[in-house]
Structure 1
Amino acid sequence: MKKVIAMLLVVLLVFVFTGCGEGNTTNDKSPAEVRTNSQKQKIEATGDKDEEPSESVVSSSNDANITETVIFDTNDIKVTAKSISYDGWLGPELVLLIENNSSQNIIVQTRNVSVNGLMIDPIFSADVVAGKKTNDKMTIMSSELEFAGITTIKNIEFILHIFNKESWDKIIDSDVIVLTTDATEYVQAYDDSGIVAYDEDGIKIVAKKLNSSDSILGADLYLYIENNSKQDITVQVRDVSVNGFMVDPVFSSKIVHDKKAFDRITFLESDLTDNGITDIREIELRFHIFDTTSWEKIKNSDIVTISFN
């Protein structure tokens, strides 16, 4: 029952916020230039840069699936990946059978989830009382797949995070689990078009476009991020201003090593309104990059200035 209510709330919020953001296209534009202390780049004026990507839909005619397999069997806890269902309201669902033969009441969640090498944030948390079992589903949001340009699920990669329900003490984190579907011929494309805002030490960040017509909270700066380093990283922003006014955007992106991500820096409508900003002409920020596990700083970038025509 709790899951049904949660799903209904998610759907309701999507409709409400989408309705609030309709019609505002003032800040739908591509970056024209990026400046840092050490470099200056200009985006080429080609038609491809301004074209909207074609809409991607996980179609029921292309329902890649997996072979039922045991993916975890340790500490008297067994997890079996049974199939991928495409009947979910919010997107494809990975069906998991969880058997808890331990003496503890547990919660099973997932971490570091990627589909076809692209980081995503699914919906999944399963409570299993000691001595019981449950069939549960990890929901992969269709909106995230479309945003990342994923039309077919070729592989899903994740870690199981299992902890005690009462104390919240960690019981175990699994090794990396990789599920491969029968879509063996599918090749995932990665749209890295845009203008490079940061490219050092195997980490690349591309500013793709500014969009307010599709934003539910204000205006979004779309980013493509590649992590070709040996560390799992989190990317955040610091010292952010829009048209010279300091703002506090919403952004924190976690990218496992050798993975990619499409993400958004969200500039809140309240911040823009309070500063009288109706047309975003320039965004200035620093990228703050740190090790996700140790929280040790990897790099604070130079000031990056992104200009829009």
Structure 2
Amino acid sequence: MKRLVGTLLFVVIALSLSGCENSKSKETTNSKTDIVSVTNSKDDNKTKNEVMGKILLEDEYAKITYAGIDRNYTDGPRINFVIENKCNQNLLIQVEDVLVDDYSTTPIFSCQVLSGKKVKDTMTLYQYVGSDSKVEKDFKLVEGKFRIMANDAKNSLLKAEPFEVNYCSSGEREKKEEKIIFDNEYAKISYIGIERNSYGGPDINIKIENKSDKTLTIQATDILVDGYMVDPKFTSDILSGDKIKAEINFINKGVSRNLKSIEGNFRITTKDNSAELLKEEPFTIAY
């Protein structure tokens, strides 16, 4: 009897030890998986780390360094800079000709820096209701010029320096497929997509570039959708040299979300009291 009890105890102890070994093996495996996850997380942030601290401009007057971005700010994405005045006069620094993913925008940025000092400042890519150039939060590229001026009564321009902040992990800009609708001496219009499920009816997304030295007004006229006349909501004003995004809206016009073709004319006029007709260009978009 004692021998039987001893044998049973030996079996129980052996099974317990085996269970402990399996448990340790599982814990080790899980630990390795966690380490791999952390490594992947670092890879995802590689692009952000490479951009952070990038010197955007350095000359005899100033040094401007990229210091991060807040994409979720209420009024629009905000880009942070550290600005150093390297010269012996007070400076006023502003931006001009700013493009976000190749679209013109008018950011809020003006910075005064005393001689020999450093400041932190922010450029806001401002968004407002009805803006044709609304900045998408996941944009990939910002480019433009820093205007370096003497901060005095004349605000004399000392230098204009180009800059670029690229968020693409590949180092190359991501471009949406564009189809040129027309390209003449006044303007270039490209088709960039359709939002079939937009509220009230489909939206046609286009890109407009003003190639002239005048502010233009562009309208869509004589529109046919699948052979039926429609009066869409579209008129766009664009400054000389600008590039903007715009939408042709078919809100509450009874247009099918499964439309197959759109045709009509783009009417190009000057935006002044004369509203001079410069050109009328026919177009067709087929799906």
TM-score by length of 2: 0.50
**Greater Rg, structure 1 or structure 2?**
2
Correspondence for 1:288? 268
Call closer, same or farther: CA 1:126–1:92 in 2, change over 3 Å: closer
**Matched residue count:** 218
Counterparts of residues 140-151 of structure 1 (less than 5 Å): 140=125, 144=135, 151=140
Call closer, same or farther: CA 1:252–1:190 in 2, change over 3 Å: farther
Offset of 1:96 from its aligned partner? 5.0
- Residue of 231, 235, 247 corresponding to 1:265: 247
Indicate the percent of aligned positions where both proteins have the same amino acid: 11
Contact 2:100-2:135 at 8 Å conserved across structures: no
Correspondence for 2:103? 119
Counterparts of residues 63-74 of structure 1 (less than 5 Å): 63=48, 64-65=51-52, 66-67=54-55, 69-70=57-58, 73=61
- Residue of 97, 106, 109 corresponding to 2:83: 97
Counterparts of residues 1-309 of structure 1 (less than 5 Å): 60-63=45-48, 64-65=51-52, 66-67=54-55, 69-70=57-58, 73=61, 80-90=63-73, 91=77, 93-95=79-81, 97=83, 101=90, 110-115=95-100, 118-121=102-105, 123-126=107-110, 135-140=120-125, 144=135, 151=140, 153=141, 156-158=143-145, 160=147, 171=155, 176-180=160-164, 186-194=171-179, 196-201=180-185, 204-213=188-197, 219-224=202-207, 236-238=217-219, 240-243=221-224, 244-254=229-239, 256=241, 261=243, 263-267=245-249, 272-273=251-252, 276-279=253-256, 282=262, 284-288=264-268, 300-307=278-285
Instruction: Give the number of the structure with larger relative contact order, counting CA–CA contacts within 8 Å between residues 6 or more apart.
Output: 1
Supply the RMSD in Å over aligned alpha carbons.
Answer: 5.3
Structure 2: state its 5+ residue gaps. 1-43, 128-133
Q: Secondary structure at the match of 2:218?
A: strand
| In structure 2, distance between residues paired with 1:239 and 1:128 | 44
Offset of 1:93 from its aligned partner? 0.9
Q: Secondary structure at the match of 1:144?
A: coil
Offset of 1:129 from its aligned partner? 10
| In structure 2, distance between residues paired with 1:160 and 1:145 | 25
| In structure 2, distance between residues paired with 1:137 and 1:146 | 16
Report which of the two has the higher share of helix.
Answer: 2
Structure 1: state its 5+ residue gaps. 1-58, 74-78
Contact 1:282-1:306 at 8 Å conserved across structures: yes
TM-score by length of 1: 0.48
| In structure 1, distance between residues paired with 2:145 and 2:218 | 26
